[in-house]
Structure 1
Amino acid sequence: MRLLARREHSRLELGRKLAARGYPCPDVEAALDRLEAQGLLSEARFTESLVRQRVQQGHGPLRIIADLRQRGIEDPGSAVEAAQVDWEALAREVYRRRFGGDTPQAPRERARRMRFLQGRGFPPETIRRVMNDVDTT
């Protein structure tokens, strides 16, 4: 209960934490089933919470999907689509916060900035549009 009181967890994530603390696997599964039945453990709530948090941190859809998969969420793509985020606008904002409004002069600097956005989890087409807009302004 203390783990759930701090933040939402996925079933897999909470199961791993309890197993790491030495609880037997059958007891962990029974406890997780009870928590789900009582509505205290919810994959949907966890997914919404994580997506919202990652968007606020400036992460793109590819990174968020990878985070959800790592935490055992079955269909992370639909959860990201349900968030209805303008990914291009978010990528522009992340770019502006990191690099300001200046245009990269050297190809090496342009590639570095593109890798930054890629590391944040934005798809290549979004990165190209953002970089092309920066180059034309």
Structure 2
Amino acid sequence: MAEPQPSQEPKPLTEQELRQWLLALLSRREYSALELKQKLKQKGASAEQTADLLDWVQQRNYQSELRYARQLIQAKLHKGYGWFYINQLCAEQGLEKSLVQAVLDELNVDWLSIASEAYQKKYADKPIVDYQDKQKRMRYLQSRGFDGQVIQQLFKQL
């Protein structure tokens, strides 16, 4: 039988090691400050270290909430998600509503065309069979985050 090994907790990383680790993370993709806080906590960083490291990466523009918001919103728009879905996702990522709205205004989003593309991708040119089928399609668009007004406009065009 193998002898039980004493539990060895990993030693806490130094501030320099945490900085290098953060830079390696940020070199691969954008992260929100909230995501970085969570990852630093998992690495064993104290609250003070976390605050200092986040300030350090933001001062050097290695991490930017604006850049992250743009990337996230553009990715979700490209995948055919609506305003409600995007707002909820951004709130979960710790992004401020004013920042999200500023990015959406900057992008000048045409929600009707995005809803139309999402609808065409899912249903192509299949005709609506009955009222239940129409409701099902409307619920699909609603689950993608489009509001009732956009959905009604889309169905008027169909």
User: What TM-score comes out, normalization by structure 1 length?
Assistant: 0.91
Give, in angstroms, the shift of residue 17 of structure 1: 1.8
Amino acid paired to 1:44: L
1:12-62 per-residue CA deviation (whole Å, 9 max, x = no partner) reads: 121112112322111111100000111101111111111111111111111
Amino acid at match of 2:119: Y
Q: Which runs of 5+ in 1 are unaligned?
A: none
Q: Residue 110 of structure 2 corresponds to which residue in structure 1?
A: 86
Structure 2 residue identity aligned to 1:24 = S
Amino acid at match of 2:114: L
1:104 matched to which residue of 2? 128
Q: Render the CA deviation track for 1:57-97: whole Å, top value 9, x for unaligned.
A: 11111111111111111122232222112110111111011
Question: Over alpha carbons, which structure has the higher Rg?
Answer: 2
Amino acid at match of 1:98: K
Give the root-mean-square deviation of aligned CA atoms: 1.2
Q: Could you tell me which amino acid in structure 1 is paired with residue 38 of structure 2?
A: R
Percent identity of equivalent pairs: 28
In 2, Cα distance between equivalents of 1:77 and 1:64:
10
1:11: Cα distance to partner? Answer: 0.9
In structure 2, runs of 5+ residues without a counterpart are: 1-22
Is residue 55 of structure 2 the alignment partner of residue 38 of structure 1?
no
Q: TM-score, structure 2 length as denominator?
A: 0.80
